[in-house]
A and B are shown apart, each in its own frame.
Chain A
Amino acid sequence: MVTRQRPRSTRLLVVALVSISLAVITLDYRQGDAGPLAGVGTAAKSVMAPMQRAVTTVIEPVGDFFSGLAHLPSLADENERLTEENDALRGQIASDAYEQEQYRGLLDLMELRGSLDPTSVPALVIANGISNFEYTITIDKGSNAGIEVDQPVATGFPGSPMLVGRVVQVTPSSSDVRLIIDRDYAVAATVEGTEEAGLVEGQGDQDLRMSLVGEGTVIEGDESVFTQGYEVNGEAGLYPPGMLIGQVSRTIEAENVTQQYVEVRPAVDFETLQFVLVLQARTEA
């Protein structure tokens, strides 16, 4: 049913709404993270966080099932592993097996926490960014738990911490973490077994890209890439050195050395990520 309306008032309404939008864009653009709009954003996120947490708790097994399905095609040629995967999937649907897996992941993480940074804050992933243009996750701990903007976020097993991203926004009870695959993300890194160092930059849903600094190093592929510790004017870098970022998946040769880069496949599976550690102290991994 479409009601008959006076077109003029509708047009006025649209003009008004468009003007408000433009005003919001301008205000936010000028004030950045300090203005009243940022405050409204923080408030909105604080309201959403408990709901996101509840929804995630309910749908996580379902989501894992579908995410597992999405990975199946790439395994098609490995019949044996496919069967295994199927069994694993079936097992996952059963909730007790699912809980067991969660428990094991959590144990691993707590052990990692003990060895890496005992003061770090363990947190649960409760939501993901809502846009196709940014890669973030939301975790269930915020400033009340001592989390601050720019703190590095890790996951992994005992003895092998992996870099997830860094905190970009904090509310009292939740934080947004920008993932290393986000296109705004860059981190200094080294390639295992070489003197090679460079900047690893996110490429969205494609593999990360690492620009190379050194000349003439042979990179064969499959080398691990780790965060690099550095110091500028006595100020330590954001990340502890030695955190795993991923494996070299492809080397791009170019005539010009400055254009050479390698592609790095991230070590973390961001689609199934459930628990993370927010590092507080600047320690060696």
Chain B
Amino acid sequence: MTRRVLVTIVVIVTALLLQSTLFWNLKLLGVRPELMYLITIVIAILEGPNEGAITGFAAGLAQDFMLNQPKGITALTLTLVGYAAGLARQYIVSPSPLLPTILVGVGTAAGIAFYQVVAFLLGQLEETFSYAIRVTLLTALYNAILTPIVYPLLRRVIEGSRPTRVVRF
């Protein structure tokens, strides 16, 4: 369990570091990916709604404390995104290897849209409507593009940190 918590913290800190350094120069049509959304959804797919919600909350809170905006909005968004993605994974029966990519794309778009609505209601969003739409779609696309790289990576990391290894014969 401790090992698991440590692994999650390392994953979140690494993603935050990359998000705030490398991806400033690696933009897709002027937009950066949202790595916190990406790792939350991937962990939710791998581990279910419980872990999805917890990881989302932790990742969101971490991101909130790095922003100069009211804290808590990302935590709220990602808790719900993680829970929803975990639930969705349980109900969708599909062997398609594209499934994580699609879930990440849809989940990110829904999450970013939700974030902007909450920020707008709190009077914190200064963006134009067209920018809001563009950011929602492009981050979703960017996250989806990154999924084939991040998903296998996170799966190995997460499975390596499971408390009990399942031995199959």
Contact = CB atoms under 8 A, between A and B. Distances in A.
Contacts of A271: 24-25
Q: Contact size class for A?
A: 35 or more
Interface in A112-151: 126-134, 136, 138
Q: Contact size class for B?
A: 35 or more
A106 interface: no
Nearest to A131: B67
Nearest to A45: B66
B75 interface: yes
B69 A134 contact: yes
A137 to B, nearest CB: 9
A14 B80 contact: yes
A17 B54 contact: yes
9 contacts: A2-B89, A10-B83, A13-B53, A18-B79, A26-B72, A44-B66, A59-B21, A129-B68, A134-B67
A257 interface: no
Interface of B: 13, 16-22, 24-27, 30-32, 34, 46-50, 53-54, 56-57, 60-73, 75-76, 79-80, 83, 89-90, 116, 119, 122, 125-127, 131, 135, 139, 166
B48 A21 contact: no
Contact of B127 (A29, A40, A133): A133
A62 B71 CA distance: 32
A8 to B, nearest CB: 11
A18 B69 contact: no
A62 to B, nearest CB: 8
Contacts of A48: 13, 16-17, 20, 66
A47 to B, nearest CB: 9
Contact of B125 (A13, A27, A133): A133
Given A2-B89, A55-B17, A10 B49 contact: yes
Interface in A1-55: 1-3, 5, 9-10, 13-14, 17-18, 20-29, 37, 40-41, 44-45, 48, 51-52, 55
